Amino acid sequence: VPHKPVHRKGHVPGEEGVWVLILGDLSVFSTFFLMFAWYRGNALPVFEGGQAMLNKGYGLFNTLLLLTSSLLVAVAVHRVRTRRAGAAMLLNIAILCGLGFVGIKILEYSEKIRAGVGFATSDFFMLYFAFTGIHLIHVIIGLGVLLFIKNAARQPGAADNRMVAIESGASFWHLIDLLWIVLFALFYVLR
Amino acid sequence: MSDMDSHEKRLVFWWLLLSVLSVISLETAPAFNNKAIFAGVVMVIAFVKVRIVIREFMEVRAAPIALQLVLDVWAIAICTALIIMIV
């Protein structure tokens, strides 16, 4: 079976409507990133104190989980496109990585709440719970999207009939990964 | 996986680089005496990672030039604004 070219020049991956959603989400999170920098500039000691209280190991582990899930999703898309086996298994492992991210986040939140740290503790923790919480909702929606594209990838003729849906879902998952990259830098790495 | 083709090996290379950059950005903090320089380095590393995800995982490097430009301008603008506000 002749393979479709891996990269057709000028090809928008997925539905163009998904890119409207992606660019909209990027704009919303960009506002969050700038808000963080603004509040941090106004209360540096509060932010440095808050950042020192976060578990950097959880942040790094979650970053590696999302990067790995993104790799698996990208390889799975390529497998479907080139009509090779393995896409569903790769997407299953990507979903496990995403579930791992959710589990770590729940553990992290619960440790903070048990220690008496919440929204009202400081501006730092208000932004931490708000922005990482909104991101976590994206991860949970993204897991549903990954389940959907796994089922699409399993169907006969997926390379011919379901490629746009699969690319759309994959692009949304990569968006979640890249938003976390910036949140990780702002909340966990800066000091 | 032994059955990886050249495109998949390329994706694995980018994943390795992204993972290494993540560890480096977190672990090299004690090496920086100057907090401002460290903050600038952290932001640049973050947006280099963002650009790799956009171009390689989201396959934007093969997308129409307009989409590539929009995303590059966005990344440069936000990264620059954050550096100015944080450093």
Least trusted range by pLDDT, from A92-106, A155-169, B25-39, B50-64? B25-39
* Spatial CB neighbours of B65, under 8 Å, sequence gap ≥ 6: none
From A10, A33, A64, residue closest to B78, measured CB to CB? A33
Cα gap B78→A31, rounded to integer Å:
9
Which residues between 43 and 102 in chain A have a beta carbon less than 8 angstroms from any beta carbon of chain B?
A: 56, 59-60, 63-64, 67-68, 70-71, 73-75, 77-78, 82, 84, 86
* Spatial CB neighbours of A118, under 8 Å, sequence gap ≥ 6: A112, A125, A129
Which residues between 11 and 30 in chain B have a beta carbon less than 8 angstroms from any beta carbon of chain A?
A: 11-12, 14-15, 18-19, 22-23, 25-26, 29
pLDDT band of residue B32 (cuts 50, 70, 90) is confident
The per-residue pLDDT for B40 is 95
Cα gap A25→A140, rounded to integer Å:
15
Question: The whole model's pTM is what?
Answer: 0.95
From B83's Cα to the closest Cα of chain A, the distance in A is: 9
Question: Contact B62/A11, CB-based, under 8 Å?
Answer: yes
pLDDT of residue B2 exceeding 80, the answer is no
Question: Contact A182/B50, CB-based, under 8 Å?
Answer: yes
Least trusted range by pLDDT, from A67-81, A154-168, B29-43? B29-43
pLDDT of residue A26 exceeding 70, the answer is yes
Are A138 and A176 in contact by the 8 Å Cβ rule? The answer is yes
* Spatial CB neighbours of A28, under 8 Å, sequence gap ≥ 6: none
Average pLDDT of the segment spanning A42-71: 97
Residue range A124-165, pLDDT digits in tens: 999 999 999 999 999 999 999 999 999 999 999 998 999 999
Sign for the CA dihedral angle at A137, A138, A143, A145 comes to positive
The per-residue pLDDT for A1 is 42
pLDDT band of residue A2 (cuts 50, 70, 90) is very low
pLDDT of residue A18 exceeding 80, the answer is yes
Would you tell me how many other CB atoms lie within 10 Å of the CB of residue A21?
15
Candidates B78, B79, B83, B87, partner chain A, best to mutate (most A CBs within 10 A): B78
Sign for the CA dihedral angle at B23, B29, A191, A108 comes to positive
**Inter-helix orientation angle A16-42/A123-154, to 10°:** 160
Chain A contact set for B82 (CB, 8 A): 33-34, 37, 186
Cα gap B38→B40, rounded to integer Å:
5
Distances from the Cα of A52 to the Cα of A26, A42, A58, A188, angstroms: 27, 18, 13, 8
ipTM: 0.96
From A86, A170, A181, residue closest to B50, measured CB to CB? A181
